[in-house]
């Protein structure tokens, strides 16, 4: 028994049917029907099982299993909302703010290297903060923590602020100025700029923060912590996100696909 709504498998099957129609795939030429290919993909997302074992369960080869999974991930990822759609939807919902958060999604090691800010050669996909390889994903959440949008993957070595600058900060400045929509973020985004609020840090001299600043920090912390729910909804529901054995460069599409599945289950897609 697969603990997802049948309607979700049918939704994914419709996406696959449309993609096959666009490609001109002949009827009956594929090893799995659209529906059972959707079931294959949902089993992988929910159970995070070995793809070769799943392929045997469905009576297909290992190579066909990988190809089927890639097709579904791509079809779902293209349905994910873009950044401005998410901000506009937040505005239409009269949300008081959005929450910016970043997470490292663990993966197998990749040999790609890069030059650090100190001029040293380092593993591009290894996070010194988390002490493991993975991909950095930035996300925007609603005030209640529901995930609205996720960015393309960045290697694990850059800081959250660096990843945010590459994908989201420019749009957040626009939202703050044009939609009057502030953003709350954690300490990893300190110094992000106008419209992005982070905690005020204690001075290096050890001087205690004044009462107003401590109150501001308490209120901000209480509102921003709900953003942790966004990644929790994705990773707890879709276990395949907990560790990726495929290329880390695929993490972005995998998380986007999981976002679309989550939106459907919560009635945001039909």
- What are the pLDDT tens digits along the chain (270 aa)? 789 999 999 999 999 999 999 988 888 888 899 999 999 999 999 999 899 999 999 999 999 999 999 999 999 999 999 999 999 889 989 999 999 999 999 999 888 888 887 888 889 999 988 999 999 999 999 999 999 999 999 999 999 999 999 999 999 999 999 989 999 999 999 999 999 999 998 877 778 889 999 999 999 999 999 999 999 999 999 999 999 988 899 999 999 999 999 999 999 886
User: For residue 110, what pLDDT is reported?
Assistant: 84
- Phi, psi angles (nearest 5°) of residue 133: -75, 150
Rounded to two decimals, the pTM is: 0.93
Q: Are 76 and 38 in contact (CB under 8 A)?
A: no
Element (H, E) at 43: helix 34-47
CA distance 190 to 198: 6
Q: Which residues contact 114 (CB under 8 A, 6 or more apart)?
A: 121, 122, 123, 124, 155, 157
pLDDT at position 6 is 94
The count of residues in the chain is 270
Q: Which of 134, 69, 131, 136 is nearest to 108 (CA)?
A: 134
Please provide residue 253's backbone torsions phi and psi, each rounded to the nearest 5 degrees. Answer: -65, -35
At residue 270, the pLDDT reads 66
User: Is residue 241 classed as helix, strand or coil in its secondary structure?
Assistant: helix
pLDDT at 269: 82
């Amino acid at each position: 028994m697969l603990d997802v709504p049948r309607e979700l498998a049918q939704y994914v099957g419709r996406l696959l049917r449309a993609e096959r129609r666009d490609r001109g795939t002949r009827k009956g030429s594929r090893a799995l029907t659209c529906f059972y290919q959707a079931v294959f993909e949902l089993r992988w997302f929910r159970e995070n099982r070995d793809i070769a074992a799943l392929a045997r369960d469905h009576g297909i080869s290992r190579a066909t299993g990988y190809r089927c999974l890639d097709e579904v991930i791509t079809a779902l990822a293209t349905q994910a909302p873009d950044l401005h759609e998410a901000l506009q939807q937040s505005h239409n919902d009269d949300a008081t703010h959005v929450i910016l958060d970043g997470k490292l999604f663990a993966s197998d090691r990749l040999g790609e290297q890069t030059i650090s800010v100190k001029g040293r050669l380092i593993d591009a996909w290894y996070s010194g903060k988390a002490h493991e390889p993975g991909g950095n994903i930035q996300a925007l959440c609603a005030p209640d923590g529901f995930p609205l949008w996720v960015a393309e993957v960045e290697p694990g070595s850059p800081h959250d602020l660096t990843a945010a600058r590459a994908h989201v900060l420019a749009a957040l400045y626009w939202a703050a100025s044009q939609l009057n929509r502030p953003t709350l973020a954690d300490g990893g985004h300190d110094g992000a700029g106008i419209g992005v609020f982070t905690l005020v840090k204690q001075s290096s001299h050890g001087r205690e923060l004044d009462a107003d600043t401590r109150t501001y920090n308490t209120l901000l912390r209480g509102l921003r912590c709900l953003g942790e729910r966004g990644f929790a909804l994705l990773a707890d529901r879709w276990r395949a996100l907990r560790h990726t054995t495929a290329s880390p460069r695929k993490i972005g599409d995998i998380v986007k696909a999981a976002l679309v599945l989550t939106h459907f289950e919560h009635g945001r897609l039909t």
